Amino acid sequence: MVASDLCIAEDEFMIHLLDQSLGQLQNWFIDQGLPAYRARQVRRWLFKKRAADFKAMTDLPPPLRTMLAEHFTIWSMQIASHHKSKDGTQKLYLKLHDGEGIECVLLCDDRHHWAICISSQVGCAMKCAFCASGIDGVVRNLTAGEIVEQMLQLQRLLDVHQRLSHIVVMGMGEPLLNLDALLPALDAATQPDGLGISVRRVTISTVGLPKGIRRLAKLDCPYHLAVSLHAPDDEIRSRIVPSNRAIGMKEILAAADEYFQRTGRRVTFEYVLLAGVNDQPEHAKKLVKFLRGRPALINLIPYNPVPGLPFHTPAPAVTAEFVEILTRGGMTAKIRYRKGDRISAACGQLRRLKTNV
């Protein structure tokens, strides 16, 4: 059975079970006069055993399974489309309870490591010029339960012996604008009774919002932080990343430095290479000067084309020269090779579509 076969509750008063923390679920059981340990049993069925519904939770008494089904829904999304690429990448378009939709991706690193790229919002307000996610703007934040459900929907695409190993919050939306929902969702994913994914294998990607970065720093966030820089100076960045006009790169870098100082976790700077825009040798030299002296990783992403947008992918030789200049300047740089681009599942290609499903 795939997630699209699951029963989607239509009763607006049903509680989305995945929106409940362990503590909230334990309190619900206590309020019903039932032992709190039942909450861990339910979570084990959802996260570990991939139960499709309450009927599958066979170590719960039948009357309790009926009671749970009357109060909670597990699934609030429906798979409207499912695409597979030859490189092993799979993309889901999920229709939400309100008719909106999001995309999320399962990535195969090798036979033993499976990463998921999840969304934090319906659409995106950042409107980066080269990215599909912001073309239609932002509609709303996702709830913690909707973020967790993406993880479980993607996990259900794996064979029973396969496990998720990495989470990247690099899908649709700006994660730092939805931390109140994202952080509880990631906590559920990294708990031993959740998906059990190591906090060291979780990455939050942001366009660079200093207030949100500093909030993560004060919380001593255990996750990796990736800042989408995409330019070596404010003039270029403000043209392709509109949010930069009100912030500026120095302020973003100061917040990233604070994150490193407080957490000790190296910051990754994402840099999409756009042919003729930010990929020339002088741009690489400026980037070295801007980031010099920091234990940062520069993640270079040759542009993944989006229909209708006026950008192009640099030639391999141009990308190689860019890397060489960074390396000579003492920077640690790597190229993120494409995965899923043929099904529009690569970096910058996810978007909010319309469907009648």
Q: Which candidate in 103, 146, 149, 174 is catalytic?
A: 103
Domain locations along the chain: 8-73, 78-343
pLDDT, average across residues 59-64: 96
Of 108, 124, 128, 347, catalytic:
347
What's the fold here for domain 8-73?
A: DNA polymerase; domain 1 (1.10.150)
Q: Could you give the CA distance from residue 106 to residue 88 in angstroms, rounded to a whole number?
A: 8
φ and ψ of 231, to 5 deg:
-160, 155
Question: For residue range 218-249, what is the model confidence (pLDDT) as tens digits?
Answer: 999 999 999 999 999 999 999 999 999 999 99
Q: How far apart are alpha carbons 252 and 268 in whole angstroms?
A: 13
Task: Indicate the fold that domain 78-343 takes in CATH.
Answer: TIM Barrel (3.20.20)
Alpha-helical (H) ranges within the chain are 22-31, 37-43, 62-71, 144-155, 179-190, 210-218, 234-240, 249-263, 281-291, 316-328
Distance of CA 150 to the CA centre of its chain: 10
What are the pLDDT digits (tens) for 142-156? 999 999 999 999 999
Question: Lowest mean pLDDT: which of 36-40, 141-145, 340-344?
Answer: 340-344
Of 245, 247, 246, 252, which Cα lies nearest the Cα of 227? 252
pTM, to two decimals:
0.91
174 assigned to active site: no
Q: 258 catalytic, yes or no?
A: no
Q: Average pLDDT over the chain, rounded to whole?
A: 90
Question: What does the pLDDT look like over 66-119, one tens digit per residue?
Answer: 999 999 999 999 999 999 988 889 999 999 999 999 999 999 876 678 999 999
Please write the tens of the pLDDT for every residue from 278-333. Answer: 999 999 999 999 999 999 899 999 998 888 889 999 999 999 999 999 999 999 99
206: helix, strand or coil: strand
